[in-house]
A = this chain, B = another copy of it.
Amino acid sequence: MSLFNKHEQTIRKAIEALHTRTFFAAFPEHPSPAVYGETADADGQARFKAQLGKKFEELLQENPASWIGEEESPYLQEKLDITYPSFPVETLIDRARKAYHVWRKVSPEQRAGILAESLDRMKSRFFEIAYATMHTTGQGFMMAFQASGPHAADRALEAIAAGYEELTRFPQKAFWDKPMGKFNIQLNKEWRAVPKGVSLVIGCSTFPTWNTVPGLYASLVTGNPVIVKPHPGAVLPIAIVVAEIQKVLKEQNLDPHICQLAPDTSDKLITKELAEHPDVKLIDFTGNSVFGNYLESLPGKTTFTEKTGVNCVLLHSVQDADKVAANLAFSVSLYSGQMCTAPQNFFIPEKGIQTAQGEISFEEFAQKFIDNLNSLIDNPKAGPFVLGTIQNKRTYDRIAEAEKLPGKVWLKSRTIAHPQFSKARTATPVVVEVNADKTDIFSKELFGPIALLIKVKDIEHALHLAGELARKHGAISCGAYTTDKGVREKIADEMALAGAPVSFNLVGGIYMNQNAGFSDFHVTGGNPAGNASFTNPEFVVKRFTWVGHREPAVA
């Protein structure tokens, strides 16, 4: 049985889900022993620990120039001392160029089968990837498992499905028969989906697999060899994925350099050299806007970016203010605000918020928000695990600076003890009230657990500000609370125009930060927060060129 046959049903279900956009997940998100096996957690943790202080020798990339690595655990605040094989850029490009002519000739079916198989292999290492993610990104275990494991694998499968669908959307051959009156012109036609060339996928430090696999799998399924350049601070999780892809390629007697890892270190980054190389035709990037804009401006490349945005919450009217405050407190705390979808600016009308129990004032709502934050933070069974740790020192410093912003500090950030890791770099959210005229302050992304409460005249004022921010500075998510249908549609329309998806009236166990494969488009491409979207048709069709040849059917 071919790998395509083995995985065909999953791929077809994934394509169907892309179109119905109803709930679908190929990989169970709950790390339960019943699903993943009794020993899976312990085995994964053991494998992770066994890797510490050693060379990562699973990659099928020979003759490295050196072994490098600088990852550090935000839980232990010490180096992982794992090193990865490093190669000169020209070696990486040469190998990718050769691999291109192998991979492009592999059929879409075979490619999809190989890639789906690699996700099965990845699945067997979800726990190891989870620990690797915890100790590089600082995420709590549950998020590390879900985001880097099943959710990432689902996003990868989504890219396989979307790519496979586009590649098979037009026939390989057709008979074209044109009546001309007395005779017919008859042509045999054929179409080839020509992959664009070497693809560079640049990872980020906070979501090393989730944000990397969509571009990686989208480029691979459409026939492009990929060089994965991870963030030097978060290599291991994606190194495991690349290793598994390489193993499946080798088993299929294909060149493992179809997918290469290109680690570097922060004192000698190779991203620009790779990106500017004339043979690199495709670039995927997650990270800061300055570098993203530079990449987008490179001529002769097709670039897919997720940059930064400023996410807003608009409060107008709610059923139950406590539930709303609890939901938002969780959103701000989740992975200490280090999600690109985390809310930052909370627009609250100066006249307060309408609730089923009557109006509550700006101050009352702010206090509810603070109370919910404190109760989450101070819950030793929840706080440390929801907050996780702070990935890097720069984010940590930014939190301290936020307390100096001109405005009332409603809540100071503090460190909390982690029950398992005494040296964990933690920081709870800081909440500052900022005047609505201080747009220079709240029109920047303040990455990390930083929430700004902004008193606005009314919902129109809030919507005007939120729309402007999204249009000018980008937005990846938006939260809105209103029980008024007219207001809801105004927000839905205005934020859609600004390319920002809105989560309305979320309470309970679902948060505006969350984003589901096969249903939610992640980043819309319609504002400065990024030019690409996981996974709309554009995300795959731009990776190859349709070329048609023709010839008379009767010579």
Contact = CB atoms under 8 A, between A and B. Distances in A.
Interface of A: 19-23, 30, 166, 169-171, 174-181, 183, 185, 187, 189-192, 194, 196, 297, 299, 319, 492, 495-497, 499-510, 516, 519-521, 524-526, 533, 536-538, 541-542, 545-552, 555
Contact of A503 (B22, B175, B508, B551): B551
Specify how many copies of this chain sit in the oligomer: 2
A196 B542 CA distance: 18
B549 A502 contact: yes
A541 B547 contact: no
A386 to B, nearest CB: 17
A548 B536 contact: no
A177 B299 contact: no
Nearest to A542: B538
Given A174-B20, A549-B504, A519 B189 contact: yes
A496 to B, nearest CB: 4
29 contacts: A20-B171, A21-B170, A21-B174, A21-B176, A21-B189, A21-B191, A21-B548, A22-B175, A22-B176, A23-B176, A23-B179, A169-B537, A178-B516, A183-B509, A185-B509, A187-B510, A194-B497, A194-B499, A196-B526, A492-B549, A495-B549, A499-B547, A504-B549, A505-B555, A519-B548, A521-B547, A526-B547, A533-B546, A541-B541
Contacts of A299: 297
Nearest to A181: B30
Contact of A174 (B175, B183, B519, B526): B519
A491 B549 CA distance: 10
Contacts of A177: 22-23
A538 B541 contact: yes
A135 to B, nearest CB: 28
Contacts of A505: 551-552, 555
A175 B550 CA distance: 45
Contact of A545 (B174, B525, B551): B525
Nearest to A193: B496
Nearest to A25: B178
B552 A506 contact: yes
Given A194-B526, A519-B174, A180 B537 contact: no
Nearest to A21: B174
A214 to B, nearest CB: 15
Nearest to A540: B537
